[in-house]
Structure 1
Amino acid sequence: MRNGIFHLVTGTALALALSAPSAYAQKKYDTGATDTEIKVGQTVPFSGPASAYATIGKAQAAYINMINDQGGINGRKIKLIQYDDAYSPPKAVEQVRKLVEDDEVLLTFQIIGTPSNAAVQKYLNGKKVPQLFAATGASKFTDPKNFPWTMGYNPNYFVEGRIYGQYILKQYPNAKVGVLYQNDDLGKDYLNGLKAGLGDKASTMIVGEASYEVSDPTIDSQILKLKSTGADLFFSASTPKQAAQAIKKNYEIGWKPVHILDINATSVGAVMLPAGAEASKGVISVNYGKDPLDPTWKDDAGMKKYLDFMTKYYPDGDKNSLFNTYGYSTAQLLVYTLKQCGDDLTRENVMKQATSLKNVELDMALPGIRVNTSPTDYRVNKQLQMERFNGERWELFGPIIEDTGAAG
């Protein structure tokens, strides 16, 4: 996109300008882009402890296939190269190096998971390769000053945690809070955001904290520890496997605190129902996208496009999975951004377009939620709405919440 404005052009000058080859019309390419192709790379946990996220990568690949069938982007087909990193940082480093140095991709897209993104962030920034729409909301991935080539997609974990803290203060001001958190940037950002939201009351309201490692087989001991503190509000800053374990364990031992769960672990098919419909009932979280299980969107145009896509391009996928709606939305934003690049497919211009998105409405975003970014604010999703699980699906409640405060 061009920002220059011609205030005054004479007829002669205009004629000359139209007859001369324009510098802006020339095609510009970096490694990974040609007249016919745009190479994009990502790592996905197709195996390992976070393999529930594998379907995200499959939905994204299906979306790219749809776009290619429609003629691609400005006449170019997207070649999406995916590798399994098993949610292992060393494996992610190995695979991302392969993408950049052997496959020579123009950019990386939606590398999944906080640990994997953290492991490759310095490398990609050193190489000046876009780490675009990374599938994480940790604060370090929306830090343009220190990491100008990295842009996270997920709602900022610190900000989301702060929203929960403010919600608790308003609705449960006398709560005794127990926190389960993943021992990495994801969990720590949520914990710090929660404390920021609770403000001066954090030290007295939080009566217990327990962390776990992604590789831990269960979190039973952590749940028992938190129950023993007398907590009557439980905040789980976790990923799908441990989130489901916590819901199930709480139910088994008869612990019934108010349960708040982070957005990353709200999949009905991968978390809520495996944990048990009755056990999951009443869990609270946030969302920014439409849920296929919610009859509110039965006649929604964006929902119909998504369902048609799933039927044709990913028939084996669960159309009701929020992971698949997420994959669809992220791929849609990638395509929008690359279209904005026009014939200037340089890495610098990819970042320029990604950091100047204005009022972009995605098919699966909740009404009123739009994508806006700037060179000083890399956050893609800053608007959220509270929701509660009713045993079958999530039900939205309250207004759209926009938090534009510091991202940690």
Structure 2
Amino acid sequence: MKVEKIGRLAAGALAVTLLASCASSRSGTDTTSGGGGTRDGGTTGAAASATSFGTLPSPCGKGDAKGSTDQGVTDGEIRIGFGDDRGFTSAPGLSKEMGDAVSAMIDWCNQQGGINGRTIKGDQYDAAYTQSVKVVQQACKQDFMLVGQGFAMDDAAEQYRVGCKLPTVAGYTVGPNAAMGPMKFEAVPYPVDMMNIGALRIAEKQFPDFKGKTDVLHSTSPAVETGSGKVAAAMNSIGVKPMDCGIKLNDAGESSYMPFAQKIKKCGAQYLWTSDSPDPGQFSLLETIDRAGVKPTYLFEATWYSTLVSQWNKAGIGNNINVGMIFQPFENAAKVPAVKQYMDIVNAHHGKVALLGMQATSAFLLWAQAAKTCGSQLTRQCMVNELAKVHEWTGGGLHAPTDPGANKPASCALMVRLNGTKFEQVFPKNVGEFECGGDFVVKTDPKTWGTSLNGDRTSTKFLTGDVIKPQSS
């Protein structure tokens, strides 16, 4: 099972993209642990005196908030749930960077005094791909909210989250009902009815013959094909007609990729787009294309921005890989303080540094800012009210501006290119900047949504009459 976006990876996507054709017999995989205190030496002493995260004033600090205002909230504590699918037996460590990031950020915040003086207690869950229902049911019993989590099978648990009126600031969502659910906010939204096509817009500017010489690589994976279909539709909407070279790869791998390389050569495609994720089969395809003497330019999803890809490219075969992103790449850390700060905080915890970790970090900061504003009146209703007001969010500079309150994606992007074993920003030219435009977001075909939306753009599948809705003050 695969999806097309880092937000849904990533950006939901990473958790799911790594699960292609896998199944698990694991049972009883959820665990809980405290997020307070320090671990493995904790964060540096500077956390206690932190006044900002990148460009964002720190939402953490001392205070005198009081009251047992809602489930999981007392005079001295706020209890939140977070986690990922790290215990999936077929891919151990899956998306662990999300839990690592939130755990580190909880400690970072608590060392400053918590939220208005209340210590944050974190219940860390492992949904292990197949156990999302179980962990959400557990969170329903004890947590104030879910924060920064990413569960690949979140749609299976969505009815339980909605049923117990558990709000969330998710790290990412995957299923369409989870992505468009009530009481759900994301620092980096990927709604089913809108799509950021910034990478396509940048490609138009970068490559003059892009419109007439581009094709989309297809797959037998239904999830990848859903992503490919959305991209192809977006291409058509801006005047890019895929060449239809007839490339459809078996998701389980091919005995030989040479016939596909020959098709590409005969077809004359100079630009290739894939919604698939990097794996041995994809690497074999690129290596075979190179052996066939074909030198296309690759336009790939943000899942290709990874050390897996950069380390594979020691021979330079992937030097034409271009990746569109809405996050600042780690290579820009010297110019983007928020990126360096994220890396320093997680590294101090001996956690895994990755794009999904930055996404979870942004979600935590969004949640913490709203919680600070609520003060002693820290209720789920107040949180929904405050989160719905946030219409420009960058996580302190971790990513392009998004609209969490309206569940709308970024209208900006940047492009990085692989050069040897390193990625570097190639567009815009100024490192740390994004290219933005009113035409960077397009509406998608309702046939691709996978759910029905009401007038508020909320999924109706599990919607009840008593969900928590934003109230104006």
- The TM-score bracket by the shorter chain reads 0.7 to 0.9
CA positional deviation for 1:168: 5.3
Partner of 1:400: 435
C-alpha change, 1:393 and 1:70, in structure 2 (3 Å) is: same
Deviation at residue 203 of structure 1 after TM alignment:
6.4
User: Alignment identity in percent?
Assistant: 18
Q: 2:403 corresponds to which letter in structure 1?
A: N
Provide, for residues 46-76 of structure 1, a one-character-per-residue CA deviation record: whole Å limited to 9, x for no partner: 1343835212221221111111122111111
Shift in alpha-carbon separation, 1:163–1:301, aligned structure 2, 3 A: closer
Q: 1:370 aligns with which of 396, 401, 414?
A: 401
Aligned residue runs from structure 1 range 151-230, under 5 A:
151-156=185-190, 159-160=194-195, 162-167=197-202, 171=207, 172-180=210-218, 183=221, 188-189=226-227, 191-199=229-237, 205-208=243-246, 210=248, 216=252, 219-220=253-254, 227=261, 229-230=263-264
Q: CA deviation at 1:82?
A: 1.8
| Paired position in structure 1 for 2:148 | 110
Structure 1 residue 122: deviation in Å?
Answer: 2.7
Alpha-carbon distance in structure 1 between the residues aligned to 2:386 and 2:225: 31
Q: Report the equivalent of 1:31.
A: 71
**Residue type of the alignment partner of 1:72:** G
The question of whether the paired residues in 1 share the 8 Å contact of 2:257 and 2:288 is answered with no
Higher helix share: 1
Query: Does the Cα contact within 8 Å between 1:235 and 1:259 map onto a contact in 2?
Result: yes
Quick one: which amino acid aligns to residue 69 of structure 1?
Answer: Q
The one of 317, 341, 349 equivalent to 1:305 is 341
**Which residue of 2 is the match for residue 73 of structure 1?**
115
Partner of 1:93: 133
* Residue equivalent to 2:414: 385
1:379/1:318 CA distance change after superposition, 3 Å: same
Greater RCO structure (CA 8 Å; 6+ sep)? 2
What CA distance in whole angstroms lies between the structure 2 residues aligned with 1:154 and 1:54? 18
Tell me the CA shift for residue 245 of structure 1: 4.5
Aligned residue number for residue 48 of structure 2: none
Q: How far did residue 161 of structure 1 move?
A: 6.1
Going from structure 1 to structure 2, the CA distance change for 1:166 and 1:122 (only over 3 Å counts) comes to farther
Please, which runs of 5 or more residues in structure 2 have no aligned partner?
1-64, 429-433, 446-473
Q: Does 1:44 align with 2:75?
A: no
CA drift of 1:351 comes to 2.0
Contact 1:245 1:275 in 2 (8 A): no
Instruction: Please name the residue that 2:359 is paired with.
Output: 326
SS in 2 for 1:178: strand
1:148 corresponds in structure 2 to: 182
Q: What is the CA deviation profile of residues 106-165 of structure 1, one whole-angstrom value per residue up to 9, with x for unaligned ones?
A: 11223325x42222223212322113224137765553xxx2222344452765564445
Match of 2:388 in 1: 355
Q: 1:286 aligns with which of 305, 315, 324?
A: 324
Contact 2:276 / 2:301 at 8 angstroms: preserved in 1? yes
Q: 1: CA distance between counterparts of 2:224 and 2:386?
A: 27
Query: What is residue 64 of structure 1 aligned with on the other side?
Result: 106
Q: How many residues align?
A: 360
CA distance in 1, matches of 2:345, 2:371: 20
- TM (norm. structure 1) is 0.74
Cα displacement string for residues 333-372 of structure 1 (whole angstroms, at most 9, x for unaligned residues): 2322322232232222222222211444433435xx4343
1:119 aligns with 2:167: no
Q: Work out whether residues 179 and 234 of structure 1, in 8 Å CA contact, stay in contact via their aligned partners in 2.
A: yes
CA spacing shift, 1:351–1:272, aligned 2, 3 Å: farther
CA contact (8 A) 1:27 1:343 kept: yes
**CA distance, structure 1, for counterparts of residue 256 and residue 145 of structure 2:** 40
Residue 98 to residue 142, structure 1, CA distance change in 2 (3 Å): closer
**Contiguous gaps of at least 5 residues in structure 1:** 1-24
- Contact persistence 2:414–2:427 (CA under 8 A): yes
Partners in 2 of 1:175 and 1:276 — Cα distance? 28
Contact 1:117–1:134 (CA<8 Å) still a contact in 2? Answer: no
Q: Which amino acid aligns with 2:124?
A: Q
**Which letter does structure 1 place at the counterpart of 2:358?**
T
- Report if the CA contact (8 A) 2:183-2:384 is conserved: yes
Give 2:42's aligned residue. Answer: none
Closer/same/farther in 2, CA of residues 220 and 98 from structure 1, 3 Å limit: farther
SS for the counterpart of 2:417 is strand
Partner of 1:136: 173
**Residue identity matched to 2:169:** L
State how far apart, in whole Å, the 2-side matches of 1:66 and 1:53 are. 21
Instruction: Determine the C-alpha separation between the residues in 1 that align with 2:334 and 2:140.
Output: 42
1:259 match: 298
| CA–CA distance in structure 2, aligned partners of residues 381 and 73 of structure 1 | 28
Q: Would the aligned equivalents of 1:52 and 1:270 in 2 still touch at CA under 8 Å?
A: no
Aligned residue identity for 1:70 = Q
Instruction: Give the TM-score of the pair, scaled to structure 2.
Output: 0.65
